[in-house]
Structures are given as structure tokens and as C-alpha cells.
């Protein structure tokens, strides 16, 4: 906000009413930046700890939904990518965490956006997000859907309602859950990618009982 706005008595009174502190004052820009950096560092540390704990509690299996979207500013010169994670933690509490807002990258190629998300997660939170992702959620534009497909062990979906549908179908044994793995092929003497079953189709009693209790 411009200085002539924040320096007025009216704005100071507004801050005092919002905070309930009659002695509240407006921070200088330098002090605010230092405070913001400290708060962000604390947030990054807490988020890193949360993701690592939940990944460990999930026995190293994918456990979160990664929401992502990209857009360009009105002048068409600056690209931005937003990333958010949602999941149910080990104590059955729903979590939704805004992870990234990456501004300034010019490429909209799916491989480049995928690389930006993964590299930024490592640099900001010191975690490898790829193996944690169960579902990738995005809009239906072709370029964004291509990004979702690059998270190879996740299943791309268009909305959280569809994700819930898939979770229930897996729990009731109506769908077969697969993952992509690397195996050694003795015929070609090289490694190759193939899909293997994580959860085979059929009745999953625990999931069926849970659905009966919560519906």
C-alpha cells in the first residue's frame, strides 16, 4: 500500500480495531520484510516436518493429492504456477497446505513445469514430492493434464469429487490399483518400466466396513 495511506490516523485506527491493541503501530517496510522472512522460514520447517512424518506414517506409500495450475499475466510475459497439497493425516485430520507459487518461468512445456514443481519442493522444503503423490488434480486443459501425467505413479483427475470417488472404489475393491516400477530385463540386459498391482480387484472388507460406518 502507498505510504500516504498507511501513515494516516484513520489507517492506524483501523489496525488497532482489527488487532484489538490500542497501542498497535504500523511496521516499517524493512521490519515487515524481516518478519515475513522469519514467518516463512518457520512455515517451511513445519511443512517439511509434516510431510516427512505423514510419508513415514504411510510406510513410504503415496498419500497426498497434488493440485496444480498455471497461468500467464495479462501482458502475456510472466508465467506462474501454483501448487497445493491435500490429504488426510495419520490422525484422520484433513489437511490442505498451499505449497508453492512460482513466478517468472517462461516455459509452459509440461516437462519444464513438472521439473519446476519438483525442484522447488526440494529447494524450499527439502522433500521429494514425487513419491508422495497418490492423485494429481488439475483443470482439463491439455497442457496442464500433461504435467499430471509426468508424475508417473499418480493418477490424474479433474476434481476432488472424482478423487473421492476413486478412493471409495479402491477401498471397496472395485478398481485395481497399479504403480509403475523399474525392473531388470535379462533378455535385453537393461532396465525397463512396467506396471504392477498394488491392490488387486475384489472385496476389501476393511474398506467396505469403513464406508458403511461413515456414509
170 is a domain residue: yes
The CATH number of the domain holding residue 125 is 3.30.420
> Cα-flanking dihedrals φ and ψ of residue 200, to 5°?
-75, 160
Asked whether residue 98 falls in the same domain as residue 185, the answer is: no
Given a cut of 60, is residue 203 above it in pLDDT?
A: no
Asked whether residue 151 falls in the same domain as residue 72, the answer is: yes
CA 98 to CA 46: how far, in whole Å? 13
Asked whether residue 129 falls in the same domain as residue 98, the answer is: yes
Q: Which domain holds residue 197?
A: 161-215
Residues 60-76 pLDDT 10s? 999 998 988 777 766 66
Asked whether residue 116 falls in the same domain as residue 48, the answer is: yes
Asked whether residue 34 falls in the same domain as residue 136, the answer is: yes
Report the 10 Å Cβ neighbour count for 123: 8
CA 165 to CA 169: how far, in whole Å? 6
Containing 79, the helix (H) or strand (E) segment is strand 79-88
Cα 182 → chain centroid:
25
Given a cut of 80, is residue 215 above it in pLDDT?
A: no
pLDDT at 45: 96
Asked whether residue 144 falls in the same domain as residue 169, the answer is: no
Given a cut of 60, is residue 20 above it in pLDDT?
A: yes
- Rounded mean pLDDT, 66-95: 82
Q: Which of 176, 175, 171 is nearest to 214 (CA)?
A: 171
Give pTM, 2 decimals.
0.60
Residues 6+ apart with CB under 8 A from 172: 203, 204, 207, 208, 211
Q: Which of 164, 146, 154, 124 is nearest to 43 (CA)?
A: 124
Domain stops at, among 111, 131, 158: 158
Domain stops at, among 139, 158, 177: 158
The number of C-alpha atoms within 13 Å of 206 and in the hemisphere containing its C-beta is 0
117 is a domain residue: yes
CA 133 to CA 63: how far, in whole Å? 6
177 is a domain residue: yes
pLDDT at 171: 61
Asked whether residue 93 falls in the same domain as residue 194, the answer is: no
CA 83 to CA 186: how far, in whole Å? 40
Asked whether residue 38 falls in the same domain as residue 80, the answer is: yes
- Rounded mean pLDDT, 193-214: 65
Asked whether residue 44 falls in the same domain as residue 146, the answer is: yes
135 is a domain residue: yes
Asked whether residue 51 falls in the same domain as residue 128, the answer is: yes
Domain stops at, among 142, 158, 174: 158
Asked whether residue 134 falls in the same domain as residue 207, the answer is: no
Percent of the chain residues past pLDDT 90, beyond the cut: 24
Given a cut of 90, is residue 97 above it in pLDDT?
A: yes
Residues 124-159 pLDDT 10s? 999 999 999 988 887 656 665 666 666 766 666 666
Count of domains in the chain? Answer: 2
4 is a domain residue: no
Asked whether residue 60 falls in the same domain as residue 149, the answer is: yes
Amino acid at each position: 500500500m502507498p505510504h500516504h495511506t498507511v501513515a494516516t490516523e484513520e489507517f492506524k485506527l483501523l489496525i488497532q480495531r482489527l488487532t484489538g491493541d490500542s497501542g498497535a503501530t504500523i511496521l516499517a517496510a524493512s521490519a515487515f520484510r524481516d518478519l515475513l522472512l522469519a514467518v516463512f522460514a518457520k512455515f517451511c520447517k513445519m511443512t517439511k516436518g509434516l510431510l516427512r512424518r505423514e510419508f513415514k506414517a504411510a510406510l513410504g506409500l503415496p498419500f497426498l493429492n497434488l493440485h496444480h495450475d498455471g497461468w500467464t499475466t495479462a501482458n502475456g510475459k510472466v508465467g506462474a504456477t501454483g501448487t497445493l497439497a491435500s490429504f488426510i493425516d495419520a490422525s484422520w485430520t484433513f489437511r490442505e497446505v498451499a505449497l508453492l507459487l512460482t513466478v517468472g518461468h517462461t516455459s509452459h512445456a509440461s516437462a519444464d513445469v513438472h521439473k519446476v514443481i519438483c525442484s522447488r519442493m526440494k529447494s524450499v522444503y527439502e522433500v521429494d514430492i514425487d513419491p508422495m503423490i497418490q492423485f494429481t488434480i488439475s483443470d482439463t486443459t491439455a497442457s496442464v493434464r500433461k504435467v499430471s501425467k509426468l508424475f508417473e505413479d499418480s493418477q490424474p483427475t479433474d476434481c476432488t469429487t472424482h478423487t473421492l470417488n476413486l478412493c471409495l472404489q479402491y477401498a471397496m475393491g472395485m478398481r485395481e490399483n497399479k504403480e509403475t516400477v523399474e525392473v531388470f530385463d535379462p533378455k535385453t540386459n537393461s532396465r525397463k518400466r512396467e506396471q504392477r498391482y498394488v491392490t488387486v480387484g475384489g472385496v476389501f472388507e476393511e474398506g467396505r466396513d469403513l464406508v458403511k460406518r461413515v456414509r
